Amino acid sequence: MPPLKLLTTGLQHVAAMYAGVVAPPLVVGVAVGLTPTELTFLMGASLFTAGIATLLQTLGIWRIGARLPFVNGVTFAGVAPMLAIVGSEAKEDALPVIFGAVMVAGAVGFLLAPYFSKLVRFFPPVVTGTVITLIGISLLPVSFDWAQGGDPEAADFGSARNLAMAAATLAIVLVLRRFTRGFVKQIAVLIGLVAGTLLAIPLGLTDFAALGAADVVGFPTPFHFGAPQFSLAAILSLCIVMIVSMTESTADMLALGEIVDRPADERTIAAGLRADTLGSFVSPFFNGFTCSAFAQNIGLVAMTRIRSRFVVAAGGGILVLMGLCPVAAALIATVPLPVLGGAGVVLFGSVAASGIQTLVKGGLEKDNNVVIVAVSLAVGIIPITAEGFYHAFPESARIVLDSGISTGCIAAIVLNLLFNHFGGRRDEETVAHPMEPGADPAAASSVPPAREAERDGTAATEASRAGG
């Protein structure tokens, strides 16, 4: 694309994922007790490493990188175990122990990538469609939380002002999508974020304090918080996180492959997982955490239909520059969370819609497939709608169970194997109206005698023609 379009569309991807990148280091940094200056440094380092991982993923080197419009950043799946490490270690040792565990987990994941990618054969459309739908559904609560203000402890959390700001941003995006064309329509989300931020200034929702205190140039000094330390318990917990991240990245690559009409095969997934895990291995050198796919940007690709990987690579370059220029990172940070929440409704809803489109290809006329989708969606929605459902399970198990994407994905794979592969003959019965409790699949799929005779006669005629 022309340079200006490349820059603006890449910036749109950065704006969509910024909050997700800085949230994990913000949470962990506060738990460790970092000063505001150190906290800004840690968030800048996460932006820098997210940019490196995104460039690896989009541009690729050798067999590393899916070469899809795929954004990488700090995964939130590692926050809970990292907080557990902070609680069990001395404050000054917590970050070095976390960084050491991330490095080992990244190296293990890199070695496992070609074997893990073979699971692609267990992801037919009925599975991928379910997982893509769950990705969108799982992300929607994030946008709702942003729309309320992001901090449940704040006095204005869920206030009319915050919700009105989110609604105004959503309205701007919808109006632009409906009444504009061409490039303006494609960057509707970016325009909505800018317009929403400007509207938030007189309402007091935009904070420019970080912008004034940020340095113009700054480099994430390697091992700024100390040399990595290696603890077996920390390594095991973050290796589990790595497996969860690889599962979600596999699902995200399958989703993105469907959206850009370039289905992700085994080789593509292996290359993508190598980029994820190599990015995670390199990240601690520059004070970053585990890198994984960002599903919210898949929604942006689905909505804008801009499929160029170089657009996302431009976003990765912007992330690197933001990591090297704290004042640029602070500028993006001025976008209020309610504004991000309003735009997120469109972005994350687009992911769920893409999943539904894939499910249409998944053979939902088959009775077995309806059961697979129904149960898998229910299992995946449990962590979203019933928080604390798995509170009695060990913390290590909850890393997987509290991820609706992971549990729903596992359920869909297992049920697909059970119903469509194991146990002999597949059930070929169809469902005309799956929502009607009294519907008889066999009856719904049967053909009236007259129609059957007509069909047989037509077949005989065709056969005689072929024979002649």
Q: Of 113, 116, 80, nearest to 234 (Cα)?
A: 80
**Tens digit of each residue's pLDDT, the chain (468 residues):** 788 888 888 888 887 777 667 767 877 887 787 776 777 788 888 889 889 989 988 898 888 988 888 888 887 667 767 877 887 777 788 899 999 999 999 999 999 998 888 876 777 888 878 877 887 787 788 788 889 987 788 888 889 999 999 999 999 989 998 888 766 776 787 788 889 989 988 888 887 766 666 677 777 788 888 888 888 878 887 887 788 778 778 878 887 888 888 888 888 899 999 998 999 999 999 988 888 877 767 777 877 788 888 988 998 898 888 888 877 766 766 778 898 888 888 877 877 887 788 788 777 778 888 999 999 999 989 988 888 888 888 876 776 777 777 788 888 889 998 988 776 555 555 554 444 444 444 444 444 444 444 444 444 444 444 443
Cβ neighbourhood burial of 330 (10 Å; 0-12, 13-18, 19+): buried
Give the C-alpha separation, 52 to 319, whole Å. 8
Which positions ≥6 away from 394 have C-beta within 8 Å? Answer: none
pLDDT at position 273 is 92
Largest Cα–Cα distance in the chain?
88
Tokens 């804008």 belong to residue:
304
Strand partners, 116: none
Contact 60, 316 (CB under 8 A): no
Domain ranges of the chain: 3-420
pLDDT at position 236 is 80
pLDDT at position 186 is 67
